[in-house]
Amino acid sequence: MKEADIKKLITEYKEDESYISELYSKWDSFLQDFSLEQLKNICVYQYVVGKGDSTFCHRIEWTLKELGSIRGSNALKYGIYYGKTKRDSTLKYRSTKIFGGHGEDDFGNVKEELIRIIQFAQSINLFKDIDSKFSNLFKYKVMFVYNRDSMIPIFNKDHLDFYIKFFEIKCKNSFEAEQNALIEFKKKCAPRGWDNRKFMAFLYDTIWPLRFADFFYDKFEKDNDFDLKVSTDLSSSKKPSKQKESNGIYFYPRDKKEASKAYIRSGMKCEIDNNHESFISAKTGKRYLECHHLIPMSRQGEEKFKHISIDVAQNIVCLCSDCHNRIHYGKDKKELISKLYHSRIKQLEEYGVSIMLDELVKYYR
């Protein structure tokens, strides 16, 4: 996705301002109730989950949930909690082994670690990571709540990896490096009035849903790793492959043979316009083209495609780089889709896939 497209999405992004005002009021109230001075004298029952909805842990996870989610692990992420386990139904304080494993007696160690993390967070401008006895999810949430300027409130490394990959940001593969790189990216693309919380909300509301989208299939299909010796016979029936996940990105693996068939059958020319020029691929020694699934692969899981693969040559068109971008981002993409649709619909129907042009066009909105 080009920088101009990202800026356009940012310009169009809207939030409920009255709701956001209420959120920031809750945030300020939390920081007042649990300032560093207050935390020095906090008691265990004021800290743990399991003792009502006014405790430190309950409020930081649930009252302030819009400041970044820390769901996905149990209550031990807080170091200590009040409750029971599957093996022991007795309600009591329970602590992790790293803090001692002695329940209520370990709260002094938990409090000391919490204060250390907050003091560190408040001492930094650029984000820096720190080793902690707390889980990373909880540690990062605490750091952000007490220093809203130092990081984007994304606390899951897989989610952070997703955004770094999506925006094609070059940086080291560490939580610290990716946080600072994403902040720099935000400064470049987002309005000055956007704080880190709003940028996080934009990412999850607008970009996160695209982890299922064809942006990633397009990236996979630009490698030009074709087998030029493959048979060009079209598949008569083929079952869909199972969906896979990597770094928060969900995708259906593509079949190199089907892409190779499509490449050869295209005559190694752009299927929008045979006269479009392209360079010679270093991998194949032939004209560089990009494969594109006319019916997007992200639709494979839909009911009508659940029992038949759409990763077949009948559904793969070969395009020059310019046309591939135009079909996603160009003003004339509807015309391009229509042209490709009419050139392929007979093959698709003979294979067993039926789709109307209007339905196909909607997939590209």
Do 205 and 223 sit in the same domain of this protein? no
Looking at residue 280, what DSSP letter applies? B
Answer whether residue 283 shows pLDDT above 80: no
Q: Is 287 strand, coil or helix?
A: strand
Q: If pLDDT is split at 50, 70 and 90, which confidence band does 170 have?
A: very high
Q: Is 270 strand, coil or helix?
A: coil
**Tokens 């984007």 — which residue?**
152
Q: If pLDDT is split at 50, 70 and 90, which confidence band does 237 have?
A: confident
**pTM score over 0.85:** no
Range(s) of the domain holding residue 83: 3-210
CA neighbor of 195 nearest in space, from 283, 48, 67: 67
Q: Which of 210, 238, 269 is the last residue of a domain?
A: 210
Do 166 and 314 sit in the same domain of this protein? no
Q: Is 229 strand, coil or helix?
A: coil
Percent of the chain with pLDDT over 70: 93
Do 169 and 220 sit in the same domain of this protein? no
Model confidence pLDDT, tens digit, residues 16-35: 888 899 999 999 999 999 99
Percent of the chain with pLDDT over 90: 69
Q: Which of 148, 178, 210 is the last residue of a domain?
A: 210
Q: If pLDDT is split at 50, 70 and 90, which confidence band does 211 have?
A: low
Do 297 and 190 sit in the same domain of this protein? no
Q: What does the pLDDT read at residue 281? A: 83
Q: What does the pLDDT read at residue 111? A: 98
The C-alpha atoms of residue 9 and residue 322 are separated, in whole angstroms, by 22
Do 176 and 296 sit in the same domain of this protein? no
> Which tokens in the block code for residue 160?
């952070």
The number of distinct structural domains making up the chain is: 2
Q: What mean pLDDT, rounded, does the chain reach?
A: 90
The C-alpha atoms of residue 288 and residue 284 are separated, in whole angstroms, by 8
Q: If pLDDT is split at 50, 70 and 90, which confidence band does 365 have?
A: confident
Do 181 and 223 sit in the same domain of this protein? no
Q: If pLDDT is split at 50, 70 and 90, which confidence band does 15 have?
A: confident
Answer whether residue 213 shows pLDDT above 60: no
| Element at 102 (helix H, strand E) | none
Q: If pLDDT is split at 50, 70 and 90, which confidence band does 329 have?
A: confident
Do 256 and 220 sit in the same domain of this protein? yes
Model confidence pLDDT, tens digit, residues 296-322: 988 888 899 989 999 999 999 999 989
* C-beta atoms surrounding 89 within 10 Å: 8
Do 86 and 206 sit in the same domain of this protein? yes
Do 27 and 73 sit in the same domain of this protein? yes
Q: Is the dihedral of CA 40, 43, 45, 48 positive or negative?
A: positive
Cα separation values, 173 from 127, 129, 160, 165, Å: 15, 13, 10, 11
Q: What does the pLDDT read at residue 311? A: 95
Do 348 and 252 sit in the same domain of this protein? yes
Q: Which of 189, 210, 231 is the last residue of a domain?
A: 210
The C-alpha atoms of residue 4 and residue 131 are separated, in whole angstroms, by 38
Q: From start to end of the chain, where are the E strands? A: 80-83, 92-95, 244-246, 249-251, 290-293, 316-319
Do 168 and 37 sit in the same domain of this protein? yes
The C-alpha atoms of residue 194 and residue 202 are separated, in whole angstroms, by 10
